[in-house]
Chain A
Amino acid sequence: MKTRRQFLRSSLLGVSTLWTMPAFIEKTMANLQEANEANSATQAVTGRDNPILVIVQLGGGNDGINTVIPYGESNYHRSRPAIRIGENEVRKLDDQLGLHPSLGFLEESFNEGEMAIINGVGYPNPNRSHFRSTDIWSIGSNSSQPSEKGWIGRFFDNECPGADAMRAVTMTGEEPLMLQGVGRHATSISDLSSFGFNGLDGRRIEDPLFRALQQPGNRLNANDNRDFVQRVALDTLVTSEQMGALVSRGGAAGYPSSGLAQQLSRVGNMIQAGATTRIYYVSHGGFDTHSNQAGRHAQLLQQLDQAVSAFVAHMKRIDEFNRVTLMTFSEFGRQLRQNGTDGTDHGAAAPMFLIGGGVRPGFHSEYPSLASKDLYANGDLRHSIDFRQVYASIIEQWLKANSRRTLGMDFDTIPLFA
């Protein structure tokens, strides 16, 4: 299989028709390829081969109990007479648990060993405010200081402190707290159109003089800082063009029209274009199903399922599936008992999904007990694993860094990646 680097090289050299390279860049890239050492220096700078995490926020509090369904428990069926999913409809994963009928693709992923389900994720003293609980998930602690940063922001602060606003890209319009650090690491897709070089005097980057000045005047082989700044300039020129093209190009083929799918299609485009971004953030809202939940929830899960399906197919098509992990989270789950309007109220622990070529598939951690004695007083599920254990495991095993530096303390990790 081609590595990411080889892929990039071949596409830069014109084997791929995705980007039409101006001749001089092509020539420079060819020069670079000859000088092997020089090439690795560029890679070290841009980090195009690093693992990618795509974070999918399920906003509003997804009903985890009707997502990963404990169909084998009688208390499930008793507690939700109007909104339960019957045993014959559930997409059974084993003799106790199954997925919502809308999640056909995820069932397939699970069975093919490309998905991990982490059961019962939550935290002590659960907060049932959407905003507060989203903040807690974003920060990775229950601190309420206004200056608190997000865990991804802190991860970048600690692991790659230089500024690079392309390390994280959000498709949600504004920068979520989770990505905010002391340094600037994140860009919103809406800003991508202004990303990169503007050219000279407000003229566009096609300006021949501007381009000539970004071009090395002689061979790059000294591997010193003079060559380094030249390489960064070339890299910026290439990336600026790609981002400009991306923004004007819209979504890749094969994605449905839902908001989530369109966000994921842009993520897919950026990965395909060889963007250096490590973290993508997308959002799927509307899970606050207090009344008449059944139809609405089925629709939301179906949009999730189809969007992820298109994204996974895209990643496999371009040979990037092994470099990508998609993670879902929601600020909380919902209560076991249905409420008086055929919906559910804010709850606590819920499952998370991890999908990608690198995940260790199957169930992780215990599904919370539904027995009355094990529930919180209001009927909420207790968590069987802290969400920060999941973060710590992702940081250690996928992003390959020390989790303590980011999370401020040690959390027991679980083996989430193969």
Chain B
Amino acid sequence: MEAPRLYFFRQRDPASWDLNAARHLLNRGSFGGSDDMARTLFFMGQDGAVRSICEGLVEPIEIPSAAGDNPEGSHLGGLPQSGHRNKALVADELPPPPSGYGTGDDESESDRRARRRMQQLIQQQRLFSIQLPWLRQMQSVYGPHEKLVLFWHGMLTSGFSKVDNRPLMLAQNARLRRYAYGDYRVMVNELAIDPAMILYLDINLNRRRQPNENFARELLELFTLGEGNYDDTDIKELARIFINLNVDLPSDELALDPDDLPNIRASAGFNDRRKLIQRAIRKIFENPVCGQLLSRRLLEYYVTDEPESAWVDELSQILRHSGWNLRRVLRILFSSEVFYSRELRGMQIKSPVQFLLQGVADLGIKTLPESACQFAMRELGQSLFDPPNVAGWPGGKNWLNATTLAKRYELMQMLIDHVLASPSVALQRELAALPHLPQQTLDALIARLFPHDLPRGKRQALIAALPTLKDSPKSLVSALTLCPEYQLC
């Protein structure tokens, strides 16, 4: 295949690399980070910085040996790759419900409510026990890798509410992590035989006589071709390949060994079936339209919620030409004119996870406060491992409305309170080191927290309020993060 001529995604002049560009790359390619991180990327130069981000790291630190011999580079902080049992899974069990909570019809209304509340609490607790380690991993130096894993989690998704099994959700997460930077075709093949996916998209309910086309439809609509590029016959043919696949699950999820996940049972031998599936997926990828969907999703995730179709076309060609290799595609994307264009910088609405982690980075918090994470997961509309439906999170403008904006303000207040309660946090020191003239302090903070200058009216209002704010760093930082502009990155 002839190499596509790059137009929109031609390389941006490396000579124009500056600290702002480095910060943009850090925000979009990862979840933001400290000034030190931004400076590190700046000193690396455009090429080196992009390379570093596409290694999945923002700091050149030693890679743990477990991942060292894996060419697709996987790093295991709190999350298991396929490896050891996750502590989170065993340490957090709630006590069993008090005896006497029956399920019979004769229990009283208040017993029933108490039982339901208890069940909900247990479910929330179980879910959070796998959310928190992932958030911690995102906040680590592996941020860029995790940002990509989160992308895949939104596109090739499964949800805890339906799967109801943490080891399987974590195993899927590990799969997404392992293949994140690799060949997209391999990723789709792997997800098609992923136990959590089998449960989430009803593959296990797909029978010859009673076909369930759920997975076949989503494979075409959401994973590969996109709506309108296949017909009902395609779905029916595809669904036939996935019949009678099942997962053997122990009744207790804790009995599952993440090293040795349950077998997938196929009616006619799993290896034969796998070949059939691979052949079918290969055929899907031969469709020239394949690649458009992934390109669009990548642009929406990393660049802008309204990508131009010419960009989608060009990126799709790049994708195909790269052998569907995500690392190569991301390198081109993160070096491109489009990615750094003035009109798009600082114009993305932060996702809830981005908002949380960037806020934490902006405030210099080193250890994620658990209660704030719990609040963010429950209230902001992006509960990790539990997307609203098979299409993942719609993102963009959908993140923000009167409810969620107010909750985001509340979250920032929680984080700022946390900072004040722990005087060791960097923000305190940095604020102390800032130029003492209040107006300069203000401008330094604005430059650090916002991708653009604030509108003049707001800056004036802040300057006017400085006499009352200057003795309280909390009030000044609060005021800044309560500007609607802080929702952008």
Contacts and interface: CB of A to CB of B under 8 A. Distances in A.
B485 A166 contact: no
A174 B113 contact: yes
B455 A216 contact: yes
Residue from the set B349, B389, B397, B401 with the largest chain A CB neighbour count within 10 Å: B401
A157 interface: yes
Interface string B374-387: 00001111110011
Contacts of A158: 388-389
Interface in A340-357: none
Which 3 residue pairs are nearest across A and B when measured between Cβ atoms? A217-B455, A163-B381, A161-B388
A218 interface: yes
Contact of B452 (A157, A210, A226, A230): A226
B482 A200 contact: yes
A193 to B, nearest CB: 13
B403 A164 contact: yes
Interface stretch (B84-92, B131-139, B473-481): B473-481
A46 interface: yes
A184 B484 contact: no
Interface in A232-264: 232-233, 235-236, 239-240
Contacts of B161: 147, 149, 182
B19 to A, nearest CB: 22
A157 B390 CA distance: 10
A81 interface: no
Interface in B441-489: 452, 454-459, 461-462, 465, 474-475, 478-479, 482-485, 487-488
Interface of A: 45-46, 129-132, 145-147, 149, 157-158, 160-166, 174, 177, 181-184, 187, 195-198, 200-201, 209-210, 212-218, 224-226, 228-230, 232-233, 235-236, 239-240, 276
B130 to A, nearest CB: 15
Contacts of A215: 457-458
Given A161-B388, A174-B113, A209 B398 contact: no
Given A149-B161, A218-B457, A239-B402, 15 more contacts: A131-B112, A146-B123, A161-B391, A162-B398, A163-B404, A182-B386, A197-B409, A198-B413, A201-B478, A209-B479, A216-B455, A225-B305, A226-B452, A229-B400, A235-B402
Given A212-B461, A225-B488, A232 B482 contact: no
A147 B388 contact: no
A195 B455 CA distance: 28
B456 A162 contact: no
A157 B383 CA distance: 13
Contact of B406 (A45, A213, A217, A240): A240
Contact of A229 (B109, B119, B403, B487): B487
Contacts of A218: 455-457
Interface in B357-396: 378-383, 386-389, 391, 393-394
Nearest to A177: B116
Contacts of B186: none
A371 to B, nearest CB: 30
Contacts, number: 162
B124 to A, nearest CB: 11
Given A163-B381, A225-B397, A235-B402, A183 B479 contact: no
Contacts of A131: 105, 107, 109, 112
A278 to B, nearest CB: 13
A233 B406 CA distance: 9
Interface string B236-248: 0000000000000
Contacts of B402: 46, 164, 166, 196, 232, 235-236, 239-240, 276
B347 A226 contact: yes
A213 B394 CA distance: 28
A184 B378 contact: yes
A344 to B, nearest CB: 18
- Dominant secondary structure of chain B at its interface with chain A: helix
A225 B161 CA distance: 32
Contacts of B305: 225
Given A131-B105, A161-B389, A161-B394, A200 B348 contact: no
B405 interface: yes
B388 A157 contact: yes
24 contacts: A129-B105, A146-B116, A146-B123, A147-B162, A161-B388, A162-B394, A164-B402, A166-B401, A174-B113, A182-B159, A182-B388, A197-B409, A198-B410, A200-B479, A213-B458, A215-B458, A217-B459, A225-B348, A226-B452, A226-B488, A228-B349, A228-B397, A235-B402, A276-B402
A219 to B, nearest CB: 10
Interface residues of B, number: 62
A15 B462 CA distance: 33
Contact of B482 (A174, A213, A276): A213
A167 to B, nearest CB: 9
Interface string B102-138: 0001010100110010010001000000000000000
A212 B457 contact: yes
B164 interface: yes
B399 interface: yes
B168 to A, nearest CB: 14
B461 A213 contact: yes
B478 A200 contact: yes
Given A196-B406, A209-B462, A225-B348, A162 B457 contact: no
A147 B164 contact: yes
B388 A226 contact: no
B403 A165 contact: yes
Contacts of A145: 164
A177 B113 CA distance: 10
Nearest to B404: A163
Given A157-B389, A158-B389, A184-B381, A232 B405 contact: yes
B325 to A, nearest CB: 31
Contact of B461 (A177, A209, A229, A276): A209
Nearest to B457: A217
B409 A198 contact: yes
A224 B404 contact: no
A201 to B, nearest CB: 6
Nearest to A405: B389
A174 B404 CA distance: 20
Contacts of A164: 381, 401-404
A385 B383 CA distance: 38
A146 B116 CA distance: 8
Nearest to A234: B484
Contact of B119 (A146, A149, A174, A230): A146
A53 to B, nearest CB: 19
B286 to A, nearest CB: 30
Contacts of A235: 401-402
Contacts of A45: 397, 401
Contacts of B348: 225
A224 B405 contact: no
Contacts of B401: 45-46, 162-164, 166, 232, 235, 276
Contacts of B123: 146-147
Contacts of A213: 458, 461-462, 479, 482-484
Given A131-B109, A226-B347, A236-B405, A163 B380 contact: yes
